[in-house]
Chains A and B, each alone.
Chain A
């Protein structure tokens, strides 16, 4: 699986958009970008994923650059409950042992009042 690089921490003001970057310069053509988050003391939670098109759901938007070497997760109106560690992961869509999701250290997003 391609390696990802994320900043260790970020701050955001409540009500503002939080933009979390991720670099995945070695991503392969068949690898998707996944985002998960982990709120303190809870299990990780799926947020969104995409291949090359931008994606949006009720939680967030995912912007993937045209060359697919980086992406940005956007929380449009961050709340205090969005304070968590955010993980960016790349993974192939299918294929035997490559189903696994490998978590890095992620970005600790702190939303401030």
Chain B
């Protein structure tokens, strides 16, 4: 079965360190989404892309977060510098423009000490 692959699955780091999370969307999908989930805030949309172009990143703290799609098979979410409040599970999802059926990865659990 085709699936969205995220790495790393778990990451523990210290405050101030750079963190990069990677996502391999399902081949052929033209939209990619990044979500963050915490107990307090639930699932928050950080950014999303269509055909590798960023459409909306208004949910992302601009001073420390950046999201890119260097090619159709890779999406990255970078945090620099990381802070304890960034601790969360980060989900990547991909899909087609014309449907709201998104396929989610298993998430990257980030802990910033």
B17 lies within 8 A of chain A by Cβ:
no
Q: Are B48 and A44 in touch, CB under 8 angstroms?
A: no
Interface SS of chain B = strand
B68 lies within 8 A of chain A by Cβ:
no
Contacting A at CB under 8 A, from B21-68, are 31, 33, 35, 42-43, 45, 48, 50, 55-56
A30 lies within 8 A of chain B by Cβ:
no
Partner of A99, one of B43, B50, B103, B107: B50
Q: Chain A residues near B1: list those with CB within 8 A.
A: none
Q: Chain A residues near B50: list those with CB within 8 A.
A: 99
Q: Are A96 and B106 in touch, CB under 8 angstroms?
A: no
Number of A interface residues in the complex (CB < 8 A): 25
Q: With A43-B91, A43-B93, A96-B55 known to touch, is A101 a contact of B102 (CB < 8 Å)? A: yes
B71 lies within 8 A of chain A by Cβ:
no
How many pairs of A and B residues are in contact by the CB < 8 Å rule?
Answer: 58
- Closest chain-B Cβ to A55's Cβ sits at a distance in Å of 13
Q: Are B98 and A93 in touch, CB under 8 angstroms?
A: yes
Alpha-carbon gap, A104 to B45, bound state (A): 11
Q: Chain A residues near B103: list those with CB within 8 A.
A: 46
- What are some 29 contacts across the A-B interface (CB < 8 A)? A32-B100, A34-B100, A42-B104, A42-B106, A42-B107, A43-B91, A43-B93, A43-B105, A43-B107, A44-B91, A44-B93, A44-B104, A45-B104, A46-B100, A46-B103, A49-B100, A89-B100, A91-B100, A94-B98, A97-B56, A99-B31, A99-B100, A100-B48, A100-B56, A102-B45, A103-B35, A103-B43, A104-B42, A105-B42
A interface residues with partner B (beta carbon < 8 Å): 32, 34, 36, 38, 42-46, 49, 87, 89, 91, 93-94, 96-97, 99-106
